[in-house]
A and B are shown apart, each in its own frame.
Chain A
Amino acid sequence: MEDEIVLPETALLAKQLGFKEKSFYWYQPRFDKTYRTYKFGDDHLLDSCMEDDCFLAPTQTLLQRYLREKHNKFVSVTPVLDFTNSKCTARYYYPTLNNNTIDLLDRFKTYEEALETGLKYTLNLLLSWKK
């Protein structure tokens, strides 16, 4: 059981926002537009090759804490009752922001999917304010 690493798209947004916290992984783009994941310290030669197009791959929890402490934005995931299939299912929804709750009414099957969406949404929001 491990803490989920954010997807490359989310990690890239975090880099654009200036995320530089201690992460154990990093992404490197490949020619086929996919990304390869590396763990810091597995190979010091590779770590030293981390070029401009590479970027840190934080866990969801670390990025969540970074947004909370550095940008005062709280991304929260809450389970909701869902009767759409005429039964209760465990699903999660939306980020809430400090003093400014935004309900994204999307429903997700897992906590991790919901959190990823919340993080991505918040990063995009912060980047749009930065411009």
Chain B
Amino acid sequence: MEKIVEQLISFETAKLAKEIRFNIYQNNQYSKGVNPTTIYNYSLEQCEFFRDTYYAPIQAILQKYIREKHNIHVFADCNQSGWYWILNKTNGTSISELDDYNYLSSYEEAIEIGLVKALNIIKNKLDLL
């Protein structure tokens, strides 16, 4: 039977995370190479040397980073139609949720989209500064 493991963020999400300066060393990384979905396990020194690496944290770590550094709580919920993502400020006020009624088939997919939405909000804010 397949074991349950924690979900890593996708390559595209990892690229966005780097753009908002997520720079906490992770054991897993993506690289811009031939196959960007390959996971590498470079050391911190190697990551600093190969500048085209992108940290690939599990979704929960990026959620935590966004929550603690940028006060945005990314989470998912479900109803009879499927899973959907929600973004709240950490004081409980709503930012946005499921704008297109595209329900997802899994919690992980919903969280991934929520993370991308949150990263884009942060990126736009940083670009304005």
A interface, CB within 8 angstroms of B: 1-3, 21-22, 59-62, 65-66, 68-70, 74, 76-82, 88-91, 96, 98, 111
Contacts and interface: CB of A to CB of B under 8 A. Distances in A.
Given A61-B58, A90-B71, 15 more contacts: A1-B61, A3-B61, A3-B64, A21-B3, A22-B5, A61-B59, A62-B6, A76-B75, A78-B88, A79-B88, A79-B89, A82-B92, A88-B93, A96-B77, A111-B67
B17 to A, nearest CB: 12
B24 interface: yes
Interface of B: 3-7, 24, 58-61, 64-65, 67-68, 71, 73, 75-78, 88-93, 107
Closest 8 CB pairs of A and B: A81-B92, A90-B90, A61-B60, A88-B91, A79-B92, A80-B92, A21-B4, A22-B3
Contacts of B91: 79, 81, 88-90
Contacts of B76: 76
Contact of A90 (B58, B59, B92): B92
13 contacts: A1-B64, A1-B68, A3-B60, A61-B58, A61-B60, A62-B4, A62-B6, A74-B78, A76-B77, A81-B92, A89-B91, A96-B77, A111-B64
A69 B64 CA distance: 22
Contacts of A111: 64, 67, 73
A79 B60 CA distance: 16
A28 to B, nearest CB: 22
Contacts of A89: 91
Given A2-B61, A65-B6, A79 B77 contact: no
A61 B78 CA distance: 17
Nearest to A1: B24
A86 to B, nearest CB: 14
Contacts of B64: 1, 3, 111
A66 B7 CA distance: 12
Quick one: which of B4, B76, B78, B91 has the most chain A CB within 10 A?
A: B4
